[in-house]
Amino acid sequence: MALIAISGHPGCRFEEVARITAQRLGFELLTQARIRHLTGEEFGAETAIPHKAWASLATSVLARIATEHHIVYCALGGELQAREDRKAKFGKSKATAEMFDLVCNAESLSSEQIAGLVAAAVESGGLKERGLLSHAAEAQLQFQMRLNLARYGIVPPDKITLRQKIFAHQSEEMFANLLDFYRIAWEYEPRSFPIQYDRDGHALESFTPDFYLPEFDLYVELTTMKQAHVTRKNRKVRLLRELYPQINIQVFYQKDFENLIFKYGLTERTVRV
């Protein structure tokens, strides 16, 4: 199966690399936050999971999903989970290189370039063609993880269901529902734009708008968070417009978005931002 673990030192943009890689390959992107969300649905959001149990629990979730999806797993130390299945793993780091099959220097390569290298390695290695994790292999792995988790009184979930599209914020899902209602074609985070470079011309920072509407050639960015985040996003949008004047982008602020939500009745719950 194809289970690609991507990790790296803080600040080296490995999360962005994982997202771009998953998009290019058409794989499911799993992060630590997403696994916590999936397990929270099973155990309850308020359930305290011991820190030492998370590695085994994450491995159990990964194994369950790997029988139905190829995966890009993004997490600090994710290569340790990937080693549970030695058929396929790739990683990125600036240290402990012997732990990885592919090591890239984030100081000399952009996120897009690194993702391209990972995708090329996956394609040349024929990882997709090897098929998904067999149920027999998954059962063997689950047995070991259940033994580990039994020490903490935890039983891993028997079934994990992934949504077709995973959104970073509930507001993005609501906006996608609105677009679907009006049959407007959309793509979620399809492209990242470098907006800051070092002296050698290497990208230091990129900006990924939330949606692209191909029929209108329009990018849409939703800003429904705290003022500090709004200020940061406004800066990124300003840089995007300066560097890419041909790009059309529309920003929806919290008030704009809430007006849409209440007008079209997309949710009965209060929008929490």
What pLDDT digit, counting tens, does each position of 73-97 carry? 987 765 555 554 443 334 443 345 5
Instruction: Report the side by side order of strands in the sheet with 187-188.
Output: 187-188, 211-213, 218-223, 249-253
pLDDT value, residue 97: 58
pLDDT of residue 266: 44
Of the given ranges (5-14, 32-41, 208-217), which has the lowest mean pLDDT? 32-41
**Cα–Cα distance measured from residue 165 to residue 31, given in angstroms and rounded to the nearest whole number:** 14
- Whole-number Å distance between alpha carbons of 178 and 160: 27
SS3 state at 124: helix
Per-residue pLDDT, 218? 92
The pLDDT, as a whole number, for residue 13 is 80
Burial class (CB in 10 A: 0-12, 13-18, 19+), 83: middle
- Residue 70 is encoded by which pair of tokens? 């190829």
Residue 209 has pLDDT above 80, yes or no: yes
Q: Are 149 and 53 in contact (CB under 8 A)?
A: yes
The domains located in the chain, with CATH, are 3-150 (3.40.50.300), 170-264 (3.40.960.10)
User: Is the predicted pLDDT of residue 62 greater than 70, yes or no?
Assistant: yes
The predicted structure's pLDDT at residue 192: 87
Q: Find, among 112, 208, 204, the residue nearest to 167 by Cα.
A: 208
pLDDT digits (tens, 9 = 90+) for 230-262: 888 889 999 999 999 999 999 888 777 667 666
Q: What is the pTM of this model?
A: 0.56
The predicted pLDDT at position 46 comes to 45
Asked whether residue 143 carries a pLDDT value surpassing 70, the answer given is yes
Distances (CA, A) of 29 to 74, 149, 167: 7, 24, 11
214 vs 271 pLDDT, higher one: 214
Greater pLDDT, 189 or 77: 189
* Pair 115, 21: CB distance under 8 Å: yes
